[in-house]
Amino acid sequence: MIRDVQIIVGATEAGQRLDRWLAARFPAVARAQAEAAAVAGAVLVNGRRAAKGQMLAAGDAVQILQCLEKSDFAAVPDATLPLSIVYSDEFLLACDKPAGMPVHPQRAGETGTLVNALLARHPELAGLGGDMLFPAFVHRIDTGTSGLVLAARTPEVYAALRTLFRTRQIHKEYLALVHGRVGQGARLEDELAHHPAQPERMMRVTDHNRVKARKPMRAVTECSIAENFTDFTLLRVVIETGVTHQIRCQLAALGHPVVGDKIYGAANAETLGLTRHFLHAARLEFAHPVGGAPLRLAAPLPAELEAVLARLRKV
């Protein structure tokens, strides 16, 4: 962090915007951080608060009271957090994330995430991929969802895995317990968008709400029946795309919300002894980015989800 620094603007720097000048003067400061410091009033020009776009003149005195640097956004290692690695080689690793743990921090200093746990065991992965708060991992799953998350161990493999996800060359399979008896499997193809009035959820775009939808995203999901119960169905779900809350939103729109998913209207799951939603990233299959050998990764159902199924099988 830069604190209590004063600099006189040189003749060759005249005519530059304050935020761009600050980022150029201090390579460790990102443009967004320079803008944030100016907006917060932490950068003064000739003793006065200045707008981020103020044009500087030769001889101006710029006083930086406080400005965050890129390193201030680095995720903090935390060895007290659990970390379950189900596969590891010299190029990549796969973690089995518990439900309730975010994949990565959203802001500087935040802890309690999978990234914090990983960096405590593999500090060499800090910064891999360019995002100091989201290093090494090449995709995300929801905080309340358990299961597989992939991380790269080299820049080359990071780029290769991102390409595999972007070009849909990774088989992504989940297990979801839903309300109601599902009669048969289905292929769901929808456009999803962030709900304009409820930012924490997604919505299925229809002719009636299309005008309210911003940046609709195509979502393709394949569902098959793994096991039927009296009032519930265990589904095997394969997603071709990777839209936020894709499985949860589409299944709820189908009339079969994921058990325990309060955001999408599921009934209280505490009667099943469950305090989370029943969605688990169970399998990933793809060609290894180094050598191309088939790689099939699996994460078993957590004990609390197995207990729910055992209870239902007794009914």
Active-site residue identified among 142, 190, 207, 261: 142
Query: Do the beta carbons of residue 241 and residue 168 sit within 8 Å?
Result: yes
Q: Are 73 and 132 in contact (CB under 8 A)?
A: yes
Quote the CA–CA distance of 25 and 32 in Å, as a whole number: 14
Tokens of 19: 């935020």
Sorted by sequence, the CB contacts under 8 Å of residue 140 that are 6+ apart come out as 103, 104, 149
In the three-class reduction of DSSP (H, G, I as helix; E, B as strand; rest coil), residue 213 is classed as: coil
User: Tokens in use for 283?
Assistant: 């399998």
Structure-block tokens of residue 31: 């443009």
Distance from C-alpha of 237 to C-alpha of 254, rounded to nearest angstrom = 14
Cα–Cα distance, 13 to 6 (Å, whole number): 15
Burial classification of residue 314, based on how many CB atoms lie within 10 Å of its CB (0-12 exposed, 13-18 middle, 19 or more buried): exposed
Instruction: Name the token pair of 48.
Output: 């006065």
Backbone angles phi, psi at 45, to 5 degrees: -120, 120
| Angle made by CA atoms 182, 187, 191, in degrees to the nearest 5 | 115
Dist CA 273 CA 46 (whole Å): 63
Give the tokens for residue 3: 């604190």
Is 142 assigned a catalytic role?
yes
Active site residues per annotation: 142
